[in-house]
Chain A
């Protein structure tokens, strides 16, 4: 800070405290709703915690919501989907960046541009034909269908390419003089050097996989492959008849907890991943 202005300092804190309250408010209300019965919630939402937290948690974990599979199965599906997408995106991006940076081969530039094009074609603009491709390949209602079509990643490829370009040429030359082939160089030098980048990307990509909604909605019709996001949507949608807000909000809070905890626990890495991949 350049100069001491007590009033401005006070105002700064005031703005931030107000901001934090506004940002946290919906989640606060949801957490409060987790601790009440549906009867209390339907007679007007309370602002102070009640005593029903444990029973709501038990109810959600054992409850089989109408039109959706048991809660634990959806947690499992979401976790598996997010992890497969995370690992898959990193694996195929790091090897394609390696090929593009450390090899010269015909159509190299073409390959780069094809990967680049994925940025311009989000799922939302090609819903039906992509669904048809997945259906023709027999991948509806499978983990393969849920994950493989989302695994291509231009941003991760660009990040690794950018990073590989900053690694001194001497590193690879020295490795070759010592007799290392391309696979050994990749495994013993490039992978260890990329550790931080991989870790940062893991956070961003896990969240990406966890929050997917449209894609699982398209490719799963059977309940056993429903993800958590579909499940909470389903529960909230069934509300008009029999509002059990206590259970919905418990499920919603549980559904948002894993990625939020990851962001808070690994904030530095998360910020690095976010700012570097997107730029």
Chain B
């Protein structure tokens, strides 16, 4: 790894400088992670007197547990829907804003602020809108013959959390798509226009392909967001219910371990999630490294 051509000769000072970061990382990140791995292979009796090594029992149980497999399925539905909706709308808005000259700043301001809204708050806002007794949207849906009740209907609950999660993520995706579009050289689109390509054709054959690094980066970031940062949304709205319908993996790790106190199973779930994040990070950095500039 590179440093400067000349460096300071001090021997002790650099250790003092990296020490705070390293200590926090070791104590609060790496040590707990090793403990999670360790306790995923162990069983502790209810009184905490003895601990025995049980091998991969927790993992085998986990992947035979219909509740866990249900949670995996719900997470996939949730992740695909949120990513598709938020990236799709963001791409549309970014394409529209990048066509504008004078008013682009104005629209950007009005579209970016949801980034600063906490997941919990986003959850409560949409919960209020979709509240079956007082909310506005169920009232409107009644005209279409839909009796909305996210407290009882699993599909309704899932739609609710998908909308809340996608809503919060649009601004982030929008900013990155916009930055990507602004770095597409004007000479390319102008040349295509002279050759007679219309705006739609220019978008799909020039701008969109050149955006592919941004799209890929956002895809990874969105998966990460949906898997982990949506905890607050679930906690503020459905609490995983009704009847497990929105019990996505990150919420299940918390409720099984912290509320249900099933340490072995929760640790095994943690390790599975950890492997997932490691894979995502690996893909992201391998890819970004190769394609920083295009």
The residue in chain B whose Cβ has the minimal distance to the Cβ of A93 is B21
Please give the distance in Å from A6's CB to the nearest CB on chain B: 13
Say whether B81 faces chain A, with CB atoms less than 8 Å apart. no
Which A249-264 residues have a C-beta within 8 angstroms of B? 249, 252, 255-256, 259-260, 262-264
Q: Does A48 contact B (CB under 8 A)?
A: no
The answer to whether A114 and B167 have CB atoms under 8 Å apart is no
Partner of A229 from the list B15, B22, B121, B281 (CB cut-off 8 Å) is B121
Determine if A58 is an interface residue (Cβ-Cβ < 8 Å): no
Question: Does the CB pair A274–B115 fall under 8 Å?
Answer: yes
Docked pose: A134 CA to B28 CA in angstroms:
8
- Nearest-neighbor residue (CB-CB) of A24 within chain B: B110
Measured between C-beta atoms, what is the minimum distance from A199 to chain B in Å?
A: 16
B26 (CB) vs chain A CBs: closest residue = A114
Q: Which residues of A sit under 8 angstroms from B89, Cβ to Cβ?
A: 19
Residues of B within 8 A of A121 (CB): 29-30, 33, 274, 277
Within residues 103 to 120 of chain A, which ones have a CB less than 8 A from any CB in chain B?
103-105, 108-109, 111-112, 114-115, 117-120
B25 contacts A by Cβ under 8 Å: yes
Mark out the residues of chain A between 149 and 179 whose CB falls within 8 Å of any chain B CB in the assembled complex.
149, 151-153, 157, 165, 169, 172-173, 176
Bound state CA distance, A126 and B37, in angstroms?
Answer: 9
A114-B26, A211-B119 given; A99·B18 CB < 8 A: yes
**How far does the Cβ of B193 sit from chain A's closest Cβ, in whole Å?**
4
A12: interface (CB < 8 Å):
yes
- CA–CA, A152 to B27, complex, Å? 11
Interface residue range, chain B: 35 or more
Instruction: For residue B86, give the distance in angstroms from its CB to the closest CB of chain A.
Output: 11
With contact pairs A128-B266, A218-B258 given, residues A262 and B116 touching in the complex (Cβ less than 8 Å): yes
Please tell me if the beta carbons of B100 and A12 are within 8 angstroms of each other in the complex.
yes
Say whether chain A's binding surface is mostly helix, strand, loop, or mixed: helix
Binary flags per residue of B134-169, CB closer than 8 Å to A gives 1, else 0: 111001000000000000000000000000000100
Using Cβ atoms and an 8 Å threshold, which residues of chain A touch B263?
128
For the complex, give the distance between the alpha carbons of A78 and B167 in Å: 24
A248 at the interface (CB under 8 A from B): yes
Min Cβ gap A261→B in Å is: 8
Pick the residue among B21, B107, B202, B228 that contacts A122 (CB under 8 A).
B228
A238 on the B face (CB < 8 A): no
Query: Within 8 Å CB of A47, what residues of B?
Result: 136
Residues of A within 8 A of B258 (CB): 127-128, 131, 218
B133 interfacial contact with A, CB 8 Å: yes
Q: How long is the Cα–Cα vector from A264 to B110 in the complex, in angstroms?
A: 8
Say whether A3 contacts B270, CB under 8 Å.
no
Instruction: Check: A193 CB closer than 8 A to any chain B CB.
Output: no
Task: Please state if B25 and A129 are interface contacts (CB–CB under 8 Å).
Answer: no
Are A102 and B35 touching (Cβ within 8 A)?
Answer: no
Q: Verify if A210 is at the interface (C-beta below 8 Å from B).
A: yes
B residues in contact with A64, CB < 8 Å: none
Contacts of B221 in A (CB 8 A): 278
Scan A75-103; emit 1 where CB is below 8 A from any B CB, else 0.
Answer: 00000000000000001110110111111
Which among A8, A122, A165 has the greatest number of chain B C-beta atoms within 10 A? Answer: A122
A44-B36 in contact given A23-B170, A103-B3 (Cβ < 8 Å): no
> Distance in Å from the Cβ of A145 to the closest Cβ of chain B?
10
Within 8 A of A (CB), among B95-120: 96-97, 99-101, 103, 107-120
Measured in the bound complex, the distance between the Cα atoms of B36 and A121 in whole Å is 11
Bound CA–CA A95/B19 (angstroms): 9
Report the Cα distance A124→B231, complex, angstroms.
9
B28 with A152: CB separation less than 8 A: yes
Instruction: Determine whether the beta carbon of A126 is less than 8 Å from that of B36.
Output: yes
Q: Which residues of B contact A128 (CB under 8 A)?
A: 36, 39, 257-258, 263, 266-267, 270
A232 contacts B120, CB within 8 Å?
yes
Query: B248-292 CB contact bits vs A (8 Å, 1 = yes)?
Result: 001001100110000100110011011001100100000010001
Q: How far is the CA of A236 from the CA of B121 in the complex (A)?
A: 10
Q: Please name all residues of chain A whose beta carbon is closer than 8 Å to the beta carbon of B116 when the two chains form the complex.
A: 207, 211, 256, 259-260, 262-263
Q: Which of B17, B114, B202, B250 is close to A96, meaning CB atoms less than 8 Å apart?
A: B17
Q: A125-B270, A149-B28 are in contact. Are A30 and B128 (CB under 8 A)?
A: yes
Flag if A267 contacts B193 (CB, 8 Å). no
Let me know if A245 is at the binding interface, CB within 8 A. Answer: yes
Q: What are 25 A-B pairs with beta-carbon distances under 8 A?
A: A15-B92, A16-B97, A16-B100, A23-B170, A45-B128, A102-B7, A103-B13, A119-B281, A120-B274, A120-B277, A121-B33, A124-B250, A125-B270, A126-B36, A129-B32, A130-B32, A149-B28, A153-B21, A213-B120, A214-B231, A217-B235, A229-B118, A236-B127, A259-B117, A278-B176
Chain A residues close to B by CB (< 8 Å): 1-3, 5, 8-9, 12-13, 15-16, 19-20, 23-27, 29-30, 33, 41-45, 47, 91-93, 95-96, 98-105, 108-109, 111-112, 114-115, 117-122, 124-134, 148-149, 151-153, 157, 165, 169, 172-173, 176, 181-182, 185, 207, 210-211, 213-214, 217-218, 229, 232-233, 236, 243, 245, 248-249, 252, 255-256, 259-260, 262-264, 267, 270-271, 274-275, 278-279
